[in-house]
Amino acid sequence: MAAADPARPRAPERTGKAAVLVAAGILLSRIFGLIRQRFLGHYLGLGDAADAFHAAFKIPNVLQNLFGEGVLSASFIPVYARLLAEGDDREADHVAGAIAALLAVTTAVIVLVGVLATPWLIDVIAYGFSGAKRELTIQLVRIFFPGAGVLVLSAWCLGVLNSHRRFFISYTAPIAWNLAIIGTLIAFGRRLAPESLAIAAAWGSLGGSVLQLLVQLPTVLTLLDHFRPTLNATSAYVRAVLRNFGPVFVGRGVVQISGYVDVVLASVLPTGAVAGLTTAQTLGILPVSLFGMSVSAAELPAMSSALGDESEIGAFLRTRLDAGLRRIAFLVVPSAVAFLALGDVLAAALFQTGRFTRADSVYVWGILAGSAVGLLASTLGRLYSSAYYALRDTKTPLWFALVRVVLTTGLGAAAALVLPRALSLDLKWGAAGLTASAGIAAWVEFTLLRRTLNRRIGRTGLSAAFLAKLWGSALVAAAAAWGVKLGLGVGHPILLAIAALVPYGVVYFALTMWLAIPEARTVLETGLRRR
């Protein structure tokens, strides 16, 4: 076994700071993502060009999702982080080089096939599109596909950086991608028709993908002293990554099916459904990324580095899980309530400009309210999945993901196509049924993940009393914000959002402090230290 290089960074034992760095990086990235979406809404609205753009982006994005961050976090990081913890830097670098080369070759082949098969993919994923709308979507997909391939390599960089506890740069790198799209929209937004602008923005996305990779690559190369790309997969550790990769790949694949089912169903709904769904998801994913992903990403390398016998590792994981679950729930519960009660305020403040109208804000609110149903389950489930991956168990989350997809598909079809007619609603509101049904399925998956892991390592989870305090505090805060909202009436979207959301946050934190919830004090002290 190679001796540890003292010049190489080593993982600290505590992950609280790491989670803050991840959250900060994600926050900055998501802010720019929201700005990007605001510009898209301003110039494209929720019309045909917007539907085509968002549907086109979704199709090649499967490549990034299948081979990107989630899969690498589950398969690559546990093996790579363990080698770093044991001081075997040379073997760790060999594993990194082999995975990089294999990813590059595989994604290049898939990109080529995807570009050639684009018309067929459109007919499958967005079969509700026809005529000029379909042709525009085909053009856009062929531009997006190479960019998705580049983003897979960017995800490999993230895996290396996270294992070395370099969290901030890996999660701020997407800012470069967002800036490229925003810059393109600003440069051409007033000169091009929506259809031509959508094509220009797609080219901006491709350029941004390259920039996102280049931002991370120099730091990655300085961390890998013995890095050499190779297709040699004879190493036991490389084979371990590939063995882990298979179940996670399939698991991510079935989850992607669920996402594409949403697009398929939305494509047969009235114009604006696809764009509205994507816009709501841009906002809805924010707490998942900020609070669920930040904690899970910071914890995975630490949990994967745990050494000792089965009981010691189990006790370590229980401690990590319970603390992480409390941190996530403290911030996600008020997020879910805000989506339900103040979704129109949030959507208007972020997106209501240009071709994006007040009616569009209300529509996005309905879809966002549906996503609130499973918000807590989705975020907590991420941490439980990380615990399985730390135990080198990638098959159990796969089976539960399959259950989730089956439920999402069945419930989604009923909620999107049948329920609106049964309730005599405009069919466009079927998009809200899609997000709500996905939330129900997320709760089923979360329950299965928790119960199965508890049988393996001992009891974990949140107490009913703790959750009751959080939900009660959030509902009281929402009532106060509603009072402000009704009192002010319709005004400037941004000013109304400030007037309603500030008291919402203040009341929530005041109540949780009064109820002696430790996480409230921790969040407050962290904020004060950073001032």
The domains of the chain are located at 16-462, 463-531
- CA 177 to CA 481: how far, in whole Å? 35
pLDDT given at position 187: 93
Cα separation, 121 vs 140, whole angstroms: 12
The pLDDT value recorded for residue 246 is: 73
Q: Are 387 and 453 in contact (CB under 8 A)?
A: yes
The pLDDT assigned to 1 comes to: 37
41-74 in b/e burial notation, b at 16+ Cβ within 10 A? bbbbbbebbbbbbbbbbbbbbbbbbbbbbbbbbb
Question: What is the number of other CB atoms lying within 10 angstroms of the CB of residue 28?
Answer: 16
Q: What are phi and psi of 77, to 5 degrees?
A: -60, -45
Provide the token pair at 117: 């098969």
Q: How far is CA 333 from CA 228, 352, 379, 409, 509, in A?
A: 45, 26, 10, 26, 12
Half-sphere exposure of 252 (CA within 13 A, CB side): 22
Phi-psi region of 461 (alpha: psi -120 to 50; beta: other; left: phi over 0): left
* Relative orientation angle of helices 69-85 and 294-304, to the nearest 10 degrees: 40
- In tens digits, the chain (531 residues) has pLDDT values of 333 333 333 333 445 556 666 667 777 887 888 888 888 888 887 778 888 888 888 777 767 666 666 667 667 877 887 788 777 778 888 888 888 898 889 889 988 998 898 888 887 777 677 788 888 989 999 999 898 889 888 888 888 887 787 877 877 888 999 999 999 999 998 889 889 999 999 999 999 999 999 999 999 888 887 778 888 778 888 888 888 777 777 666 666 666 667 777 777 787 778 778 888 888 888 888 777 777 776 776 667 665 556 777 778 888 888 888 998 999 999 999 999 999 989 988 888 887 788 888 899 999 999 999 999 998 999 888 888 887 878 788 888 988 988 898 888 888 888 888 888 888 888 888 888 998 999 999 999 999 999 998 888 989 999 999 999 999 999 999 988 888 887 678 888 888 989 999 999 999 999 998 988 887 766 554 544
Q: What is the largest CA-CA distance in the chain?
A: 70
pLDDT of residue 324: 87
Kindly report the number of other CB atoms within 10 A of residue 17's CB atom: 13
Alpha helices in 117-173 (DSSP H): 118-125, 131-163, 167-172
The residue assigned the tokens 């594409």 is 260
DSSP state string for 372-433: HTTHHHHHHHHHHHHHHHHTT--HHHHHHHHHHHHHHHHHHHIIIIIHHHHTT--GGGHHHH
Please tell me the distance from the alpha carbon of residue 382 to that of residue 385, in angstroms, as a whole number: 5
**Res 397: pLDDT:** 86
pLDDT of the residue at 504? 93
Helix, strand and coil percent figures for the chain, each rounded to 5: 85, 0, 15
Contact 512, 520 (CB under 8 A): yes
Contact between 155 and 73 under an 8 Å Cβ cutoff? The reply is no
The pTM (predicted TM-score) of the whole model is: 0.67
Residue 291 burial class via C-beta count within 10 angstroms: exposed 0-12, middle 13-18, buried 19 and up: buried
CB atoms under 10 Å from CB of 363, counted, come to: 26
Q: Which two structure tokens, joined as six digits, stand for 62? A: 């499967």
- Nearest C-alpha neighbor of 272 from the set 424, 51, 122, 22: 51
